[in-house]
Amino acid sequence: MNPGSTNIAHNLWQIRATLPANATLVAVSKTQPVDAVLEAYREGQRDFGENRVRELIMKQPLLPGDIAWHFIGHLQTNKVRYIAPFVSLIHSIDSLKILRVVNGEAGRHDRVIDCLLQFHIATEETKFGMDLREARALLGAPEFSSMKNVRITGVMGMASFTDDPTTLHREFRSLRQIFDEIGEAYFKGSACFRIRSMGMSGDYPIAVEEGSNMVRIGTLIFGERLKLT
Ligand SMILES: *Cc1c(COP(=O)(O)O)cnc(C)c1O
């Protein structure tokens, strides 16, 4: 038996046992082989997350058709067309420009693609995402209201890479507040705007305490990732 993969079932059930009933677990399968994805699938896992288009479009045809694929990485406009036929939720919308392209490609496939607005909540400079002002400009743009093939269903954010619980609580709470403000201002009465995608292997319990209802977990399920060179 391969000692690196035999714990997937156990890890999955352990994480599920700690999640509230309203929280969706996205199993982040980036760099993991198809066999590992299948092992999780056999345990009933259906939501999987990938952060590279090339890897996602290689894996998707090899795996069961009822998997909901989440795109969680930075998305380039010229790559959208490869995932538009099947992607279930794009977590990383950070500009009107990328949303425009997703809308166009979704239209070509007669689809409405669900999207999350990604916010920059970490103190680190390197993470992608918008601030509240940029999101307001996007949501208030006349062009946005005319987009028929995308639907904004919530927000996503990544906290700083730290063990400090105070920092993590503060950053996740800021995303929760952004969700509440945007929901009130732009999505009042819409049941579709409901996703708060926050929390990864190292910080998801704190994210859940701060109101996460979608966690993206890789390492804790599949073990350490193979290093990409
Ligand atoms: C890799 C990744 C995750 C999962 O990270 P783990 O620490 O392995 O749980 C979650 N979200 C995003 C955006 C990622 O790129």
Confidence of residue 6 (pLDDT cuts 50, 70, 90): low
Residue 125 confidence (pLDDT): 76
Q: Which atom of ligand 1 is nearest to the CA of 91?
A: 13
Judge if the beta carbon of residue 72 lies within 6 A of ligand 1: yes
**Reported pTM:** 0.95
Q: Distance, CA 218 to ligand 1 centroid (Å)?
A: 6
| Contacts of residue 163, Cβ cutoff 8 Å, sequence gap at least 6 | 202
227 pLDDT more than 90 = no
pLDDT tens digits along 110-119: 999 999 999 9
Task: Choose one of 163, 200, 212 to mutate for the ligand 1 pocket test, by most ligand atoms within 8 angstroms of C-beta.
Answer: 200
Residue 186 confidence (pLDDT): 98
Residue 229 confidence (pLDDT): 46
Residue type, 4: G
56 pLDDT more than 50 = yes
36 pLDDT more than 60 = yes
Helices (H) and strands (E) in the chain, counts: 10, 8
